[in-house]
Structure 1
Amino acid sequence: MAPHNGLVHLKEYDIKDSNIELIGSDLDHKVKYASAATEPAWNDGRVGVTPGLFVWRIEDFSVVPVPPSAHGQFYSGDSYIILSSQALSPKTDPTKLTHAIHFLLGAHTTQDEAGTAAYKTVELDAFLRGAAVQHRELQARPSPSFLALFPRLTFLRGGVASGFRHVVETSPPTTTPEDEVTTLLRVFKHPSSSSAAAPAPNDGGVIVCEVEPTWRSLDEGDVFILERGAKIWVWQGGRCSPMERAKAAQVVHEMRLAKRGDVEVVAQGEAGGRAVVRMLGGGGAESESGVLRAERPVVGAQGVGRETEGRRLFRLSDESGRLEFGLVRDVGEGISMRDLDGDDVFVLDDAGKTIWVWEGQGASKAEKAMWLKVAQAYVRKVQGEDESGEAYLTPIAKVREGCESAAFLRAIEVA
């Protein structure tokens, strides 16, 4: 049986690995063979021509469009490519576009999918003549600019490689109670939705994330939706916000449109709330203590920041005849656009909030080809020095000379 058929999951990709190291490998050759001379996904007559949001999922080395109705809904077992194209001057010149490409790696994606997403992102940027800002996104800590693309982000378990699908039912299930599937969704506000640097489409942006259906996943600060068979419970934590309650109600309304069933809203301290805890395996002294805390599965990029360490600037150059990576400006030294040289590639560590790669127009092919590998090698070095062990989650983004994003200009020119 082929590895992508049936309930077989390939080896999961280690997010701490460098996915650009797959370039030039057997995977690289497979992807090139699969894509042949052209990529149909980029040649639909709209990509690079019309403004809008385009989303593709990686399926068996292919780039498969995700319909607009499913934009913002992702599976943790998959990898995705998202293109945001916007008119630079909508009123004066609506045909001139700016582009941002995000390749999203799900928490349980496979090595094949992660490598294909990275490779195809480079290919899409080439299709757009190198003018796009490229972002590597991780499900656990998406960048503020990625969060800003969707009024609601939903992360569900499963994916293509596992053969698992979430099936929308239009009639009551026929399973017996002991066979009923239990699904638990956590609803909470965007961790970075209030960021002035990258506002979400609306300040009520939320994340809906499927979590392990156990009482240990509950947190009194959020709202949870428990679905078992034809019944839905909305569990409101004692410290959840009115906005989270309202957004959870919208999610439940959409669920009921797709699947008939009863809904019961319960509060944490009420009898119904305690009954939900017991349904999820709780009921002992620990779960009945009144304090329920669980780490959020998706946290804001601002939480990565090593602000106390400051910013650093590095140069990648082959001027000496071999590729060298060296420090240009250390912590405490001023950094500005004047420090950049168009003949090389530079890496800016924005105090851990983002690792920015600036590519000069005159940089060599070797320098350009190594940008992500070098950036992730640097992140791994910091990872070994980071007491929290979370440096690998730092967002990575690349800009090209003359096509710098506003976020990059803010990062390099900050006082």
Structure 2
Amino acid sequence: MALQKQKQYDWKDSNLALFGSDTETEVKKESAEQEPAWKNAGQTCGLQIWRIVNWKVTTWPKEDYGKFFDGDSYIILNTYKEEGSDRFLYDVHFWIGKYSTADEYGTAAYKTVELDTYLDDVPVQHREVQGHESALFRSYFEAITLLKGGAESGFRHMKPQEYKPRLLHFHGDRQGVVVKEVPRCRSLLDNTDVYILDLGLKLIQWNGLGSNKEERMRALHYLKELQGERGGKCRTETLDEEPRARSNEFYKGLTEDKAEVDVTEEAAVDKTKELYRLSDASGEMKMTKEKSGKIEKEDFDSKDVFIFDTKDSVFVWIGTETSKMERKNALTYAHNYLMKTDHPLVPVCCLPEKMNSPAFQLALAA
């Protein structure tokens, strides 16, 4: 593999609490038990979400599940049981907003490992990056809504007259309808999609001429949800595109300014799957390339940690005979590896050998 120049994330990627080197102090169960946020974590099946605020883990309101601000970082725990078993199993994800600070990002990473420790190392750990979420992460929500700023800029935290209008873009893709806040720029409107102009006390849904039924229905459902969250106090309106009509309040809420458009990180150029072995048998951690192309289950060895790069996602496979510290640093290994590639923002899954993962099985079969 030809390693590329290190990519810089939009957030500052230095002085992280977990990434960049081995964990300075092993996360201990006793300290994890002192974290108030974990008191009821993983006690019942379902989702629990926390947001990182000033290095602290804070509960995210259930009514906001599925909404993520690009200036924040979050921890998401999914608790479930396999059919015929009473044992709790877990997937724990940390989600990084595009403009999340290094402190928030690092705290989310460290606290994810701490939550894993609190739950006796049972969870499968995942890293999710805004706009590159895994299929498993997306499956938890009817839709993921990506909003600009931090949670404090939301309607619930501001006086109506101080609320900054938002333009929400509803675009259907093969994974469903994606909801994303975009610049309120008239020239950027795509008439094959649907938009909602959120003015705080008024919500206007704009249906482009070429939009489909799924996009329109998802937007209408979202509009009703927003109205309900605001106690029914805001008015709503649905507007079908009419090329000659521009007098509606929807158009007056847009600007003529040329707005900056977020550039999507490029995908890997070479899609060949690669397998790397991480071993400290020599006394220091070394990474060696084991194989490329078709990767099979027999290529993995219980004595070591492996990085399996599909180019659309990365699996850190942790053998049963590896050390506890190697498990704790699985996210570190993936992060350091990806920062030397041309696709650093793909989802990461840290998978203990004995844990089942449909996504991993599909990656091997493909």
Q: Distance in 2 between matches of 1:217 and 1:49?
A: 46
- Secondary structure of the residue aligned to 1:397 is strand
Name the SS for the 2:321 alignment partner: coil
Provide TM-score, normalisation by structure 2: 0.84
Asked if the contact 1:357–1:399 (Cα under 8 Å) also holds between the matched residues in 2, the reply is yes
Per the alignment, residue 386 of structure 1 pairs with none
> In structure 1, what is the Cα distance between the partners aligned to 2:93 and 2:351?
12
Letter in 2 for 1:133: V
Matched, 1:340 2:300: yes
Match of 2:19 among 9, 18, 21: 21
Distance verdict in 2 for CA 1:368–1:211, change over 3 Å: same
Residue 254 (structure 2) aligns with: 280
Please, which moves more after superposition, 205-214 or 78-87? Answer: 205-214
Residue identity in the other structure for 1:356: F
Preserved contact between residue 14 and residue 102 of structure 2 (Cα < 8 Å):
no
DSSP 3-state at the match of 1:392: coil
Taking only aligned residues, the RMSD between alpha carbons, in angstroms, comes to 3.3
For 1:382 and 1:180, how far apart are their aligned partners in 2?
40
Q: Secondary structure at the match of 2:87?
A: strand
Instruction: Indicate the percent of aligned positions where both proteins have the same amino acid.
Output: 32
Q: Distance in 2 between matches of 1:394 and 1:49?
A: 30
* Residue 271 (structure 1) aligns with: 244
Partner SS for 1:281: coil
Q: Is the 8 A contact 1:329 1:335 kept in 2?
A: yes
Tell whether the 8 Å contact from 1:16 to 1:392 is kept in structure 2 after alignment.
Answer: no
Instruction: Give the structure-1-normalised TM-score.
Output: 0.74
Query: Quick one: distance in 2 between partners of 1:356 and 1:261?
Result: 45
What secondary structure sits across from 2:308 in the alignment? strand
Give 1:408 deviation, angstroms. 0.9
Specify the code of the residue in structure 2 equivalent to 1:375.
A
* C-alpha distance 96-272 of structure 1, shift in aligned 2 (>3 A): farther
Structure 1 residues 46-73: Cα deviation after superposition (integer angstroms, max 9, x where no partner): x333211111111222211223222112
Amino acid corresponding to residue 188 of structure 1 in structure 2: H
For residues 98 and 262 of structure 1, what CA distance do their matches in structure 2 show? 43
- Cα distance, 1:142 vs. partner? 0.9
* Cα offsets for 1:349-376 (capped at 9, x unmatched): 11x1111100112113453344222222
Tell me if structure 2 keeps the 8 A contact 1:144–1:192: no
How do 1:147-226 and structure 2 match up within 5 A?
147-159=138-150, 163-167=152-156, 175=161, 181-189=164-172, 191-193=173-175, 205-226=176-197
Choose from 240, 243, 246 the match for 2:217: 246
Deviation at 1:282, TM superposition (A): 3.4
Q: CA deviation at 1:85?
A: 1.3
Map 1:10-89; keep pairs closer than 5 Å.
13-14=11-12, 20-21=18-19, 38-44=34-40, 47-89=41-83
Determine if the alignment matches structure 1 residue 361 to structure 2 residue 359.
Answer: no
**Could you tell me which amino acid in structure 2 is paired with residue 271 of structure 1?**
R
Any idea what SS the aligned residue of 2:237 has? Answer: strand
**1:309 equivalenced with 2:271 (yes/no):** yes
Write the distance in 1 (CA, Å) between the matches of 2:201 and 2:254.
Answer: 16
CA distance in 2, matches of 1:77, 1:268: 32
Alpha-carbon shift at residue 295 of structure 1 (Å):
7.1
Q: Answer whether contact 1:130 1:400 (CA < 8 A) is retained.
A: no
**Quick check: 2:154–2:163 contact (8 Å CA) kept in 1?**
no
Output the CA distance in 2 between the equivalents of 1:79 and 1:132: 19
Judge which range, 231-240 or 361-370, deviates more. 361-370
For residues 251-292 of structure 1, give each alpha carbon's deviation from its aligned partner in whole angstroms, at most 9, with x where no partner exists.
222333325344333333433457544641239xxx9xxxxx
**What is the count of residue pairs matched by the alignment?**
351
Residue 290 of structure 1 is matched in structure 2 by: none
Change (3 A) 1:168 1:147: same
Is contact 1:235–1:265 with CA below 8 Å preserved after alignment?
A: yes
Report what 1:98 is aligned to: 89
